[in-house]
Every structure is written in structure tokens, then in C-alpha cells.
């Protein structure tokens, strides 16, 4: 019911993130896209309610939190860009350090819930991610944002903000690195040798989606864009449009997991191969 909406959102949000526009323009475009996507999801929920509780949990835990987390991220980014000092490197660094401290306080205030989610627990998801209002929850939900009762669970907004703050941390770190170019006291030099991805980009897309589908990074909290950006940084490669590549992979007439199958086969052969040791 929501697959096409989310797939369309992923393509458009990726285009915004990878555009050459400045941060304020990206934030404005991102906010508009997120609001439209959330309105579309809300309309679908109102027209066709969930058939079972697991469907409702999956929606408020995984589907709605994708555009909502980007809405929160772009809102924070927009505010940060407007409030950031326009001149003076030391003032700008001090401002960004304060932003980072606020993020740390947010995670500290919600430590129990962050731990629950990042450990992959599910035993009280029926309380956190269904519309059972009025229950007594062991963790305090976030109430900073207006919520539609028929389109909100008690903790979907908090989970979305946790995801958003992970992205916001990445933005602040990049901003501080630019301001501290050549300053090795704040950012240590990389100790490892530079690694280049030399297999086809479609192979990398397979690996990224496999890790995403398995929830192997950040206990499932990392989304496709975050994972792809991290791979770009680590392997010194530019991934043009991972969603388009993934669509091409799905449309293959041959195996859709060719690279992953090769990895598995090569590892099995190596692990069973006799050695002289």
C-alpha cells in the first residue's frame, strides 16, 4: 500500500541531497517533499486502515519515520544554517560545538528508548508503535512536534528524531571539518591506507541494500542514503543514483544478487580449501 510512495520519496530525496544547491535550498526543498509525502501517507491510512497489529507497527516504526526523520533533519538543518554566525571561524566552531552538545543531551535524555531501539528489541513495540493512546509508557515520548492522533503512535516521532539526529551529527562534523581544514588536533588523520572500490557500482549497490535489508548497521536505524554516503567516504567513490541502480537490479532477468552470490561462493571455497599451515 505504501511501497510506491516510499520508493518515489527515496528517489526524490536522494536527488535533493546530491544536488549542487546550498544547504538552505536543500532544506527548503526537503521540507516540502517530506510534508507532501507525509500527507500522502496520512491519506492512505485514513482510506485503508491496517489489517493487523504487525502492519500498524511496521508502518509507524519503519515507513512513516523515513519521511518524518528527514523532515526533522531538514528543519534542524534550516534552523542551524540561519542561526550560524556569518563570519569568524572561531565563532562558527563554537556555535557548532554547542549544537553537538544539544544533540548529546537529547540522546542522554532518551537513553532508555535509544537503547531499546538500537539493541533491536521488539517486546513492547505494540505500545510504542500502535495508536493505543492513554497507556502508561516506560519511556517518555517526545512532545516537541504536533501530532495527528489518528496518524501517530506514542513514540514514532521520537524514533524519527533519533534517526534525524544521526544525520544532523554527520552534517555538523562535515561543517567542522571544513572550518578546521588542516587542524589535526580536532580531527585525527586516517590511519588506514586509502581503499578504492574497483568492482562495478552495481555490486556495491547490492552490498548496500543487503546490509540495509538485514538491519546490520546502527541496529537497523541507518537508511539507504546514510549507508551509501558512508561507503562513498570510505571507498572514495561517487554513487550517482543508488535508487536507480537498485531498480535496474530488480529488473534483471538473471540473478538479482549476482555479486553477493559470488562473495558467498568465494568465501565458501576459501574456507574449505586446505592450507599448508
pLDDT single digits (tens) 19-50: 889 999 999 999 999 999 999 999 998 888 88
Other Cβ atoms closer than 10 A to 34: 24
pLDDT surpassing 50 at residue 261: yes
Q: Taking Cα atoms as reference points, which of 161, 129, 153, 133 lies closest to residue 58?
A: 129
Confidence of residue 212 (pLDDT cuts 50, 70, 90): confident
pLDDT for res 223: 80
Mean of pLDDT over the chain: 83
pLDDT of residue 237: 77
Any residues with CB less than 8 A from the CB of 35 and at least 6 apart, and which?
71
Supply the pLDDT for residue 183.
52
CB 33 within 8 A of CB 91: no
Give the integer Cα–Cα distance in Å for 205 and 212: 10
> Is pLDDT of 186 > 50?
no
User: pLDDT-based confidence at 192, cuts 50/70/90?
Assistant: low
Q: What is the pLDDT of residue 239?
A: 80
Please state the rounded mean pLDDT for residues 228-237.
79
Task: Give the pLDDT of residue 75.
Answer: 93
Nearest-angstrom CA–CA distance, 84 and 105: 20
Amino acid at each position: 500500500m505504501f511501497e510506491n510512495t516510499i520508493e518515489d520519496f527515496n528517489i526524490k530525496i536522494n536527488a535533493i541531497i546530491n544536488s549542487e544547491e546550498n544547504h538552505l535550498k536543500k532544506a527548503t526543498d526537503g521540507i516540502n517533499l517530506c510534508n507532501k509525502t507525509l500527507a500522502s501517507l496520512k491519506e492512505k491510512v485514513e482510506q485503508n486502515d491496517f489489517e493487523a497489529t504487525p502492519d500498524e507497527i511496521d508502518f509507524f516504526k519503519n515507513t512513516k519515520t523515513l519521511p518524518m526523520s528527514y523532515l526533522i533533519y531538514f528543519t534542524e538543518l534550516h534552523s542551524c544554517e540561519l542561526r550560524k554566525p556569518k563570519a569568524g571561524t572561531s565563532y562558527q566552531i563554537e556555535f557548532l560545538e554547542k549544537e553537538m552538545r544539544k544533540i548529546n543531551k537529547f540522546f542522554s535524555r532518551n537513553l532508555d528508548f535509544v537503547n531499546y531501539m538500537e539493541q533491536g528489541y521488539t517486546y513492547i513495540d505494540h505500545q510504542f508503535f500502535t495508536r493505543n493512546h492513554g497507556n502508561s509508557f516506560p519511556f517518555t515520548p517526545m512532545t516537541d512536534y504536533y501530532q495527528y492522533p489518528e496518524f501517530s503512535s506514542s513514540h514514532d516521532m521520537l524514533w524519527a528524531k533519533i534517526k534525524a539526529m544521526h544525520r544532523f551529527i554527520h552534517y555538523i562534523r562535515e561543517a567542522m571539518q571544513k572550518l578546521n581544514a588542516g587542524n589535526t588536533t580536532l580531527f585525527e588523520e586516517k590511519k588506514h591506507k586509502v581503499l578504492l572500490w574497483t568492482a562495478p557500482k552495481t555490486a556495491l549497490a547490492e552490498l548496500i541494500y543487503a546490509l540495509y535489508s538485514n538491519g546490520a548497521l546502527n541496529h537497523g536505524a541507518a537508511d539507504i542514503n546514510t549507508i551509501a554516503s558512508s561507503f562513498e567516504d570510505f571507498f572514495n567513490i561517487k554513487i550517482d543514483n543508488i535508487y536507480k541502480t537498485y531498480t535496474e537490479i530488480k529488473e534483471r532477468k538473471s540473478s538479482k544478487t549476482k555479486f553477493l552470490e559470488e562473495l558467498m561462493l568465494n568465501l565458501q571455497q576459501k574456507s574449505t580449501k586446505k592450507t599448508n599451515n
